[in-house]
Amino acid sequence: IIKEGQEVFVQVSKEPFGSKGARITTHISLAGRNLVLMPTLNHIGVSRKIKEEKERERLQEIIERLSPEGYGFIARTVSEGKEEDELRGDFEYLIRIWETIKKKKSSAGVPDLVHEELDVTLRTMRDLYTGEVKKIVVDSKEEYEKISRFMNEFMPDTKHALELYEKKEPIFDHYGIELDIERVLNRKVWLKSGGYITIEETEALCAIDVNTGKYTGKKNLEETILKTNMEAVKEIAYQLPVRNIGGIIIIDFIDMEIEVNREKVFNALSEELERDKNRTNIQKISEMGLIEMTRQRTGKSIGKTLCETCPYCDGNGGVKSRKTICNEIFRKLEKETISDLSEAVSITVHKDIANVLLEEERSAIEKLESLLNKKINITVNAQFHREHYEITYL
C-alpha cells in the first residue's frame, strides 16, 4: 500500500494516449539488443516467439549461467541463434546502466528523471534491425556517426550495412518514402484486385472495414468475397506495424456464407500476425464476419504522430451542414425575439451560410421578417468558423 508522502521509484511503461494518462510500474525493465533486464524480479525467460524448444533451452542455460544473483532477464526474439559472447555484451551493458541508475537515484530529488530511453534513431536500430535488412541509409553525418558507434559496441557484425547518403536529391524522394508516408496516412487502401480496406482510428479502438470495391469477380460472389478478404488479410498485416496501430482492433471482413472460407481467412490472418514483432491476440471470426484482436501498443500510431486534430471540425470528422445552421438560426430568432422590442436584426455569418440565407432560404427570411415584424440584415465575416454566427438586435 502506498502512503501519502512516500517516495516511489517508478518507470513509465505506457505513454499517455488520448485522455488516458501514462501508465507507470514499480517493476523496472531495461531493454538491450538481445536481452531485457528486470532488476526487481528474479525471473529468467525466453520470448514466446522463439518456438524451437532446443533453442529455448540453450538460451535459458546461457542466461542462468551469466545472470548475477537476484537479477531477472528475458531473451528477446532477436537473441535466437546468438552466441554466448554476444549475449554477454548485453548483460554487461544492461547491468552497467542499472548501476548508473541506482547511483543517480540515491542523490535524486522528488520528482526527478534518473534515466531516459535511447532516442528514436538508436531505439530503431536496437529493436527493428534484423538480418533481413540489407542497408541502413542515413543522410545526417552526425546521426551516421552516432549509429556507427552504437553498432561497434552492440552490433559489430552488422556495421557493413550502414551507409551515409550524400546525394543532392532528398533521401525521401530518392527512395520514394514521401509516397509511402502519404499512403499510410490515407484512410482508404486499395487492394490488387480492386477491392479496398478503410482504416479508422478512435481513442477506444481501430476499425478496419473490407470492401469489394471495383472487383466483381469472374465466377461466383463467394469466390469474389474470399479473394478480396484474403488480399485484405495481407494488407492488414502489413498496415498494422507500418502505421504502428495498437490496442483493440475490429476487422469487418465481407460476410462469407461458407464456413471453410471463414476458416481460411482466420488461419491466414493468424499466420500473417505470427510475423509481427508486437504481441497480438486474435479471436475467431464471428457470424457477422467480424474479427476482434489486440496488438501490443508501442507509443502513438503514425497517424497520431504526424497529424493533429483538425482545428475546423475539432476531430469530429465533419461540420454541420449549411441547411442545419440556417434552421438553427431561424429557431433562435423565433425564440429570442418574442419579447424583444427592437426594430431590426443583424445576423453575422460565414460567407457559405450567407449565400444559403440570401438565395435558397430567401423566402424563409421574408416569412420570418413578416412573422417577427422586423427587418433582418445578413452580413458576412470571412474570419468566422462556418458553424459560428452572431445575432444582434438593432
Of 249, 276, 306, the residue at which a domain comes to its end is 306
- Looking at residue 263, its pLDDT comes to 93
Share of the chain above pLDDT 90, in %: 48
24 to 11, 66, 295, 303: CA distances (angstroms): 5, 29, 20, 24
- What SS3 state is found at 334? helix
Residues 162 and 223 in one domain: no
Residue 126 lies in a domain: yes
pLDDT at 97 over 60: yes
- What SS3 state is found at 209? strand
Strand partners, 290: 252
Q: How confident is the model at residue 339 (pLDDT cuts 50, 70, 90)?
A: low
- By the 10 Å C-beta count (0-12 exposed, 13-18 middle, 19+ buried), 226 is classed as buried
Nearest to 195 by CA among 163, 229, 165: 229
State how far the Cα of 264 lies from the Cα of 73, in Å rounded to an integer: 38
Residues 112 and 122 in one domain: no
Residues 284 and 344 in one domain: no
pLDDT at 77 over 80: yes
Q: How confident is the model at residue 338 (pLDDT cuts 50, 70, 90)?
A: low
Residues 106 and 123 in one domain: no
Residues 111 and 125 in one domain: no
Residues 109 and 139 in one domain: no
State how far the Cα of 214 lies from the Cα of 2, in Å rounded to an integer: 60
State how far the Cα of 266 lies from the Cα of 230, in Å rounded to an integer: 9
Global confidence as pTM: 0.71
Out of 98-112, 132-146, 329-343, give the one with best mean pLDDT.
Answer: 132-146
State how far the Cα of 391 lies from the Cα of 110, in Å rounded to an integer: 53
Q: What's the maximum distance between 2 C-alpha atoms anywhere in the chain?
A: 94
Of 102, 117, 132, the residue at which a domain comes to its end is 117
Residues 209 and 286 in one domain: yes
Q: How confident is the model at residue 78 (pLDDT cuts 50, 70, 90)?
A: confident
Of 258, 281, 306, the residue at which a domain comes to its end is 306
Opening angle at CA 154, ends 246 and 33, nearest 5: 25
Instruction: Encode pLDDT of 178-233 as tens digits.
Output: 888 888 899 999 999 889 999 999 888 999 999 988 766 556 788 889 999 999 99
Mean pLDDT over the full length of the chain: 89
Total domain count, the chain = 4
Nearest to 158 by CA among 25, 304, 31, 34: 34
State how far the Cα of 147 lies from the Cα of 159, in Å rounded to an integer: 9
State how far the Cα of 42 lies from the Cα of 329, in Å rounded to an integer: 68
Q: How confident is the model at residue 389 (pLDDT cuts 50, 70, 90)?
A: very high
- Looking at residue 3, its pLDDT comes to 84
- Looking at residue 37, its pLDDT comes to 93
Residue 312 lies in a domain: no
Give residue 383's domain range: 322-393
Q: How confident is the model at residue 363 (pLDDT cuts 50, 70, 90)?
A: very high
- Looking at residue 215, its pLDDT comes to 61
Among 13-22, 167-176, 177-186, the minimum mean pLDDT is found in 13-22
- Looking at residue 189, its pLDDT comes to 93
State how far the Cα of 321 lies from the Cα of 338, in Å rounded to an integer: 27
Helices 362-372 and 351-358, packing angle to 10 deg: 80
Residues 78 and 122 in one domain: no
Residue 313 lies in a domain: no
Residue 268 lies in a domain: yes
- What SS3 state is found at 45? strand
Q: How confident is the model at residue 244 (pLDDT cuts 50, 70, 90)?
A: very high
- Looking at residue 40, its pLDDT comes to 87
**What mean pLDDT is predicted for residues 99-114?**
87
Higher model confidence: residue 251 or residue 332?
251
Contact 195, 189 (CB under 8 A): no
State how far the Cα of 88 lies from the Cα of 153, in Å rounded to an integer: 12
Residue 172 lies in a domain: no
Residues 122 and 45 in one domain: no
Residues 88 and 147 in one domain: no
**Amino acid, single-letter form, for residue 378:** I
**What mean pLDDT is predicted for residues 280-297?**
90
- Looking at residue 359, its pLDDT comes to 94
- Looking at residue 347, its pLDDT comes to 95
What are the CB-based long-range contacts (under 8 Å, 24+) for 164-168?
Answer: 164/137, 164/138, 164/139, 165/137, 165/138, 165/139, 166/139
pLDDT at 246 over 70: yes
**Amino acid, single-letter form, for residue 264:** K
State how far the Cα of 94 lies from the Cα of 88, in Å rounded to an integer: 10
pLDDT at 355 over 80: yes
C-alpha cell at 21: 494518462
Among 85-89, 290-294, 352-356, 381-385, the minimum mean pLDDT is found in 85-89
**What mean pLDDT is predicted for residues 67-83?**
89
With cell 476458416, the residue in question is 263
- Looking at residue 373, its pLDDT comes to 87
Residues 334 and 389 in one domain: yes
Tally of CA atoms within 13 A in the half-sphere of 224 that contains its CB: 14
- Looking at residue 167, its pLDDT comes to 93
State how far the Cα of 123 lies from the Cα of 33, in Å rounded to an integer: 9
- Looking up residue 79, the CATH number of its domain turns out to be 3.30.230
Residues 291 and 346 in one domain: no
